[in-house]
């Protein structure tokens, strides 16, 4: 192995990535191996290193000390054996012409007992704990937010003005593109393909519990925001082709049946479960098309560029078909895309920076209302979650790889 002091900046960056501390790659991008092993505690008390981690670099310093000791042992392994210093001195030839080795300090064969103490960092807990209970709670949070959205749609539907009384609002996209009847089905098919690809990909992720928790937390918050925007501003239908279901006028039993029908159908029109109006600002279909693409790209290898492009095309074609079907105003799609992408980027920036997981006056992101929820889900995750994959059924693999073999016992009598 090449000596640490001879490492180039690229080799330092590779070592940081290999040891799951990629957050230090940028502040240490010009550091050589000699610069790396020269780092001290004082260096982590000054910018930019002081802004990377909240542990003042203790974890990285431990790793550097371990690295130095490993290379020290490697470089001197010919002069040491099992922690004992070897001193082999040739004795002068005796009078009878034979050479003999002296005994140093009473030890035969020229060995002197001198223990070398190697300070090693204490074993630390897992950097990426699974915590399936938190993942289940995140799923419940997302389900509750989706249910709340469904209830809001049913309530807002009662307030939508008839299209004969309040015609659709002017929209620049509708002025240039005529309505295509089958376009909205293409949008929902694309969304189901992306969701299926993401579920399949998530099954093979090594840290699927952490990543699924993030997906549920973000999607739940986005649908909760959608409840507010739909309720406070009720827009008229965007086209005269809408056939909204009759208003129930306070019949809560029918409200509950309608809500259960919408939940069972996943809020999709192609399942025949969505025949209500009023859920325009902002587009829930755009949320799913954008979120699935962002998660697929973020947690898949960079070399699969063709896979990313296919998912990007599916997402963009789906959003274009929403507008082409005249089932949402352009502002619905634009606002949904903006909020979804920003929330995804904010959440992951906070999750990848340890210092942003602690509330302080300098951390303005800690003032968002969902910060406590974020802290609960992410406080034990230290560093950027690697894009690592594994077979999702380890027990099945074990049984397939270790099948018992039987042989017939022949009675010799």
E strands along 173-239, which residues? none
For the stretch 169-178, pLDDT in tens is: 999 999 999 9
CB 190 within 8 A of CB 321: yes
Confidence of residue 2 (pLDDT cuts 50, 70, 90): low
Q: How far is CA 293 from CA 190, 289, 313, 341, 366, in A?
A: 11, 6, 10, 10, 27
The span from the CA of 361 to the CA of 359, in Å, is: 7
Residue 84 host element (H or E): strand 84-85
Max mean pLDDT among 4-13, 48-57, 80-89 falls in 4-13
Which percentage of the chain shows pLDDT scores above 90? 41
For the stretch 67-111, pLDDT in tens is: 877 776 665 555 544 444 444 444 444 444 444 444 444 445 554
pLDDT at 115: 57
pLDDT at 179: 92
For residue 85, give the 3-state DSSP assignment.
Answer: strand
Whether 285 is catalytic is yes
For the stretch 145-170, pLDDT in tens is: 999 999 999 899 888 988 888 889 99
Helix intervals (H) in 233-329: 252-264, 284-298, 305-324
pLDDT at 48: 78
CB 140 within 8 A of CB 373: no
Q: Would you say residue 254 has pLDDT above 50?
A: yes
Q: What residues have CB less than 8 Å from 246, skipping those under 6 apart?
A: none
Confidence of residue 122 (pLDDT cuts 50, 70, 90): very low
| Least confident range of 87-96, 284-293, 338-347, 348-357 | 87-96
Residue 227 host element (H or E): helix 208-232
The number of helices, as runs of H, and strands, as runs of E, in the chain is 13, 2
Q: Would you say residue 337 has pLDDT above 60?
A: yes
173 strand-pairing partners = none
pLDDT at 120: 53
Whether 308 is catalytic is no
Confidence of residue 287 (pLDDT cuts 50, 70, 90): very high
The span from the CA of 54 to the CA of 356, in Å, is: 9
For the stretch 314-323, pLDDT in tens is: 999 999 999 9
pLDDT at 228: 94
The span from the CA of 223 to the CA of 142, in Å, is: 8
- Active-site choice (285, 326, 327, 343): 285
Which long-range CB contacts under 8 A does 370-377 form with residues at least 24 apart?
A: 370/217, 370/221, 373/141, 373/217, 374/217, 374/347, 374/350, 376/134, 377/134, 377/138, 377/213, 377/214, 377/217
């Amino acid at each position: 192995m090449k000596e640490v002091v001879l490492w180039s900046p690229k080799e330092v960056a590779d070592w940081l990535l290999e040891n799951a501390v990629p957050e230090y790659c940028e502040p240490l991008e010009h550091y050589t191996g000699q610069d790396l092993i020269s780092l001290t505690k004082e260096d982590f008390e000054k910018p930019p290193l002081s802004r990377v981690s909240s542990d003042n670099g203790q974890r990285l310093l431990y790793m550097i000390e371990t690295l130095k000791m490993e290379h020290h042992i490697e470089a001197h392994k010919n002069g040491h054996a099992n922690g004992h210093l070897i001193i082999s001195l040739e004795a002068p030839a005796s009078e009878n012409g034979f050479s003999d080795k002296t005994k140093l300090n009473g030890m035969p064969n020229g060995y002197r007992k001198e223990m070398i103490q190697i300070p090693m960092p204490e074993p630390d807990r897992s950097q990426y704990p699974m915590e399936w209970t938190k993942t289940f709670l995140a799923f419940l949070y997302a389900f509750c937010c989706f249910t709340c959205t469904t209830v809001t749609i049913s309530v807002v539907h009662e307030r939508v003005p008839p299209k004969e009384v309040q015609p659709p609002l002017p929209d620049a996209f509708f002025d240039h593109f005529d309505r295509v009847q089958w376009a909205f089905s293409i949008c929902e098919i694309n969304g189901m393909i992306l969701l299926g690809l993401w579920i399949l990909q998530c099954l093979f992720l090594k840290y699927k519990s952490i990543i699924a928790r993030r997906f549920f937390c973000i999607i739940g918050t986005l649908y909760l925001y959608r409840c507010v925007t739909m309720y406070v501003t009720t827009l008229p239908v965007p086209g005269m082709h809408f056939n909204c279901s009759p208003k129930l006028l306070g019949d809560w039993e029918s409200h509950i049946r309608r809500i259960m029908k919408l939940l069972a159908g996943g809020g999709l029109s192609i399942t025949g479960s969505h025949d209500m109006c009023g859920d325009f600002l902002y587009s829930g279909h755009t949320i799913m098309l954008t979120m699935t693409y962002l998660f697929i790209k973020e947690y898949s290898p960079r070399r699969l560029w063709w896979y990313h492009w296919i998912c990007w095309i599916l997402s963009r074609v789906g959003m274009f078909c929403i507008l082409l079907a005249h089932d949402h105003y352009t502002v619905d799609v634009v606002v949904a895309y903006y909020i979804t992408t920003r929330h995804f980027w904010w959440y992951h920036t906070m999750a990848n920076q340890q210092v942003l997981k602690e509330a302080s006056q300098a951390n303005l992101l800690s003032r968002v209302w969902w910060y406590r929820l974020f802290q609960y889900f992410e406080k034990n995750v230290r560093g950027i979650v690697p894009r690592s994959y594994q077979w999702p059924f380890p027990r099945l693999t074990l049984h397939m790889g270790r099948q018992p073999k039987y042989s017939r016992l022949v009675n010799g009598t």
